[in-house]
Structure 1
Amino acid sequence: MALYCAISNEVPEFPVVSPTSGAVFEKRIIEKYIIENGVDPINGKELRVEDLIEIKTPPIVKPKPPSATSIPATLKSMQDEWDALMLHTFTQRQQLQTARQELSHALYQHDAACRVIARLTKEVTAAREALATLKPQAGIVAPQPVHQVWISWDIFFYDDYISLIWNGLHSASVPGILSLDINPSDHSKLLTGGNDRNATVFNKDTEQVVAILKGHTKKVTRVIYHPDEDTVITASPDHTIRVWNVPTSQTTVILRSHDGPVTGLSLHPTGDYVLSTSTDQHWAFSDIRTGTLLTKVSDASGVSLTTAQFHPDGLIFGTGTENSQVKIWDLKEQSNVANFPGHVGPVTSISFSENGYYLATAAEDACVKLWDLRKLKNFKTIQLEEGYAIKELCFDQSGTYLAIAGTDVRVYLCRQWQELKLFNDHTAAATGVRFGKNAQYIASTSMDRTLKLYGIE
């Protein structure tokens, strides 16, 4: 088998191997590189000329040297220039790769900053509108206590919270609520999916059921409330995804993208497309307007996919697998760009923080892992009690809190990752958790057939 120089990609005349990287080089080229840089060009570790190991190759009978004419001298000069060009090209490739990574990090930071600015601008506008409404009444209305406009901490630091309970949203004959979502534009409306094969839209302010969505032939395991329309999306082990019109309680689109039970569901930030995963080892990207399957990609590991969620920018997304892997995918390239190992057992839930920097993951190993997407590494692990079954993770809209639904419901303060509150009112495992507007209340569902809201008076 021929040896090739790792720099020039040519068969070396005097091959040597680097003990730090194991790569083969032409002796004269690598010696020049070491004299100039003092490191191995492959891994950047310190390397000296005397550390190089010569490789013994079969002797080759060389032709007689040419006479001392201008042609050999020219060839030797061209060889030296070629060696220098190879060294320069190799260094440029390394610098280009580093620049690409730094640019990617900078773009994600810019995107996160734009999101924060947009959210703060929206909140300031809402506060100004509220102030303008109150000004005409200032002369005749007695002073009222000022309510917290921003995120409320009271529910997490005091024990005098109130708990509202509803247990008639789903059938008692097949008990259990499996999934939960809140309408992002109207936080009074909550959506639940049940073991009874139905999805229910409930208004917490009027305490009335708005719609009961019937059509799935098996339990409803994933639900999404559209942020801009009175539309919901549901998924089921019956291999289908349904798009519903809430006012009419009718199915508008049925997506048959998978050949197995649908396990994960996430809406693209544009609101026009949905990502889904299944035990058929594929993820699918579909148009919820036309019902068109736009692309379907299989996981190269050949295992079932268990969950999915889009990154807030919509360019990448994450999936969980049956064999404990968390994978990050590039939507445009349809390729797996990063893997996060470390869990034991099937991945049960993943959640991206709104700032785009953090990813929380959970599996059947009773721990929550936090990942920094800028550095692609695990920086914090929250270990829960042995046997704790984590069903869902959820960041609030500001990225300040992380909620865990499982054996009970817990809330953690991000950055410090300190447990702020534990709610154990459910009599069975909690299956879903969501934050209300400005995190002023928390909603949770459970296999005990109840929907519970925790808030302050």
Structure 2
Amino acid sequence: MNLPASGLAKPRPPTATSIPAILKSLQDEWDAVMLHSFTLRQQLQTARQELSHALYQHDAACRVIARLTKEVTAAREALATLKPQAGLTASAASYAQQGYEQAAPAAAGDEGLVLQEVGMSEDVTAKIQAKADSLTADRKRRGKTIPEGLASADDISQYRQLASHTVFTVLVFLACLPFDLQLSDTSKVVTGGADKNAVVFNKETEQVIAVLKGHTKKVTSVIYHPSEELVFSASPDASIRVWGVQQAQCGQIIRTHEGPVTGLSLHATGDYLLSSSTDGFWAFSDIQTGKVLMRVAAGEGGNSAATCAQFHPDGLIFGTGTADSLIKIWDLKERQNVANFPGHSGPISAIAFSENGFYLATAADDAVVKLWDLRRLSNFKTITLDNNYEVKSLRFDHSGTYLAVAGTDVRVYLCKKWTELKVLNDHTAQATGVAFGSNASFLASTSMDRSLKFFGFDR
């Protein structure tokens, strides 16, 4: 509004002072406001449409990127397993020349080969027997003295959490729920999880060394080779994979089971694997060639699902757990069931042989841990746990002095006296795997809370 020099508003002309003129002025102002509001609404609608279109394009771009990433990952995995598969095919051809037959794949599109049982040769038998004799003699010498540097019972009772790692969820892109854990002598830990991957972790550097991808279902059993950079993994996808850690590639796929693989154990020679499955069979395989040496029904008629398997330290016998609450001891060379241990209720969840060669620890869905004397074939001790306690893993230390129990929590017991030394409640969910470090200087455990924890004591 233009103001005169005096600062007062100009008077309206006489024609604008009448009521009709005032009404017309108000009407014009109202029309101008409505027109401006209409224009703003049109602009808002246009902006909304443009934003919606941009969001749609962004979502489409994200979908394309995700699809391409998935295709690239699949191509890399196919490339990683291409050479090993070619090696398997060559091996199969070699077996055919020697009179072995190749069985049909377990299912259309499956990777790897399923080889029929070819039997255990005299050379394999002699190697196994020689290794057992050597280990037995060595055990008798070691059994007379306590290992130098072994943690004492007081040290174990002072275990506390030293480190906790949850980085796996980032590195493997999916939530990793470890089901099993193995510890090597070089402080390397391998875990298997529900994300279908196995992860190798270095305790000293606190770094992930390798992420092993290839299984199509969760990884439930893993083993780190004691002298080579090899990892073995098993899964409900009915396959066993042999991985090279340095290349993070699968070098061998063993398919001998028709159902989920529930147990995995490495023979003392380091050359053979024992596996169990819900298909009711256990198998003994050569890890170098993928050749299945033996495949035997774990129960009557092969109807009893095998839930776990573990070699005796000497490697001449081994134990399997079954879904019908029975522990079976087998003679490897004779492939015969030589002893049965009844007494649990529910499927057997874990078994572990002591390095002293005399004790066997077993657990099932009955909240107890049973100790068996292999010399007398009898149960000499039963550790009763809390009500509804679920045991998922049992592990003796290498000296056979301590027993670790993982489940609702993590517990450590002193062998022979079978007294409880320590209860560790640091996990916020069920513990699924446990392993001792060298001389029981530390303890590692995995859990459904997606963490790998290390426990130790102050020296």
Change (3 A) 1:206 1:110: closer
State the Cα distance separating 1:154 from its structure 2 match. 4.2
Give aligned pairs, total.
323
Q: Report matched runs for 1:286-365 at 5 Å.
A: 286-301=285-300, 302-365=303-366
8 Å contact 1:281–1:304 — kept in the other structure? yes
8 Å contact 2:236–2:259 — kept in the other structure? yes
Aligned to 2:395: 394
Local SS of the residue matching 2:325: coil
Q: Which runs of 5+ in 2 are unaligned?
A: 1-131
Amino acid at match of 1:312: P
8 Å contact 2:273–2:286 — kept in the other structure? yes
In the aligned structure 1, how far is the partner of 2:305 from the partner of 2:255?
17
Q: Of Structure 1 and Structure 2, which has the larger fraction of its residues in helix?
A: 2
Change (3 A) 1:119 1:183: farther
8 Å contact 2:278–2:306 — kept in the other structure? yes
- CA deviations on 1:214-273 (whole Å, 9 max, x unpaired) are 000000000000011010100000000000000000001000010000000000000000
8 Å contact 1:306–1:319 — kept in the other structure? yes
Change (3 A) 1:211 1:120: farther
- Does 2:114 match 1:114? no
- CA deviations on 1:169-216 (whole Å, 9 max, x unpaired) are 2457434111100113x1x21111011000011011111111000000
Aligned to 1:87: none
Q: Report matched runs for 1:13-52 at 5 Å.
A: none
In the aligned structure 2, how far is the partner of 1:192 from the partner of 1:297?
28
8 Å contact 1:191–1:200 — kept in the other structure? yes
In the aligned structure 2, how far is the partner of 1:360 from the partner of 1:109?
23
Amino acid at match of 2:358: Y
Aligned to 1:241: 240
State the Cα distance separating 1:162 from its structure 2 match. 4.0
Change (3 A) 1:309 1:441: same
8 Å contact 2:307–2:322 — kept in the other structure? yes
Identity %: 59
8 Å contact 1:388–1:407 — kept in the other structure? yes
Q: Report matched runs for 1:150-189 at 5 Å.
A: 150-158=150-158, 161-170=160-169, 171=172, 173-184=174-185, 186=186, 188-189=187-188
Change (3 A) 1:111 1:198: closer
Local SS of the residue matching 2:156: helix
8 Å contact 1:391–1:405 — kept in the other structure? yes
State the Cα distance separating 1:340 from its structure 2 match. 0.1
Local SS of the residue matching 2:404: strand
Aligned to 1:202: 201
8 Å contact 2:143–2:356 — kept in the other structure? no
In the aligned structure 2, how far is the partner of 1:414 from the partner of 1:118?
16
In the aligned structure 1, how far is the partner of 2:144 from the partner of 2:206?
31
In the aligned structure 2, how far is the partner of 1:259 from the partner of 1:278?
8
Local SS of the residue matching 1:201: strand
State the Cα distance separating 1:112 from its structure 2 match. 4.6
8 Å contact 2:411–2:423 — kept in the other structure? yes
In the aligned structure 2, how far is the partner of 1:114 from the partner of 1:426?
38
Aligned to 1:423: 424
Amino acid at match of 2:291: T
Aligned to 1:255: 254
- CA deviations on 1:273-306 (whole Å, 9 max, x unpaired) are 0000000000000000001111100123321000
Q: Which has the larger radius of gyration?
A: 2
8 Å contact 1:152–1:438 — kept in the other structure? no
In the aligned structure 2, how far is the partner of 1:365 from the partner of 1:197?
29
- Does 2:282 match 1:283? yes
Change (3 A) 1:233 1:456: same
Change (3 A) 1:202 1:347: same
Local SS of the residue matching 1:320: strand
Local SS of the residue matching 2:439: helix
Change (3 A) 1:219 1:403: same
8 Å contact 1:239–1:259 — kept in the other structure? yes
In the aligned structure 2, how far is the partner of 1:282 from the partner of 1:392?
21
- Does 2:404 match 1:403? yes
In the aligned structure 2, how far is the partner of 1:239 from the partner of 1:254?
10
Change (3 A) 1:415 1:322: same
Local SS of the residue matching 1:117: helix
Between 211-220 and 292-301, report the one with greater CA deviation. Answer: 292-301
Q: Which has the higher contact order (CA 8 A, sep 6+)?
A: 2
Change (3 A) 1:426 1:216: same
In the aligned structure 1, how far is the partner of 2:388 from the partner of 2:151?
33
In the aligned structure 2, how far is the partner of 1:236 from the partner of 1:375?
35
- CA deviations on 1:396-435 (whole Å, 9 max, x unpaired) are 0000000000000000000000000000000100000000
Q: Report matched runs for 1:11-160 at 5 Å.
A: 112=136, 114-117=138-141, 149-158=149-158
* TM-score normalised by structure 1 residue count: 0.68
8 Å contact 2:181–2:446 — kept in the other structure? yes
In the aligned structure 1, how far is the partner of 2:218 from the partner of 2:370?
29
- CA deviations on 1:357-408 (whole Å, 9 max, x unpaired) are 0000000000000000000000000011110000000000000000000000
Amino acid at match of 1:115: R
Runs of 4+ aligned structure 1 residues displaced above 4 Å come to 108-113, 118-124
8 Å contact 2:175–2:195 — kept in the other structure? yes
8 Å contact 2:299–2:305 — kept in the other structure? no
8 Å contact 1:264–1:306 — kept in the other structure? yes
Q: Aligned Cα RMSD in Å?
A: 2.1
8 Å contact 1:427–1:448 — kept in the other structure? yes
Local SS of the residue matching 1:296: strand
* TM-score normalised by structure 2 residue count: 0.68
8 Å contact 2:161–2:453 — kept in the other structure? no
Local SS of the residue matching 1:332: coil
In the aligned structure 2, how far is the partner of 1:349 from the partner of 1:397?
18
Amino acid at match of 1:214: K
State the Cα distance separating 1:114 from its structure 2 match. 2.9
Amino acid at match of 2:284: F
Aligned to 2:54: none
Amino acid at match of 2:385: L
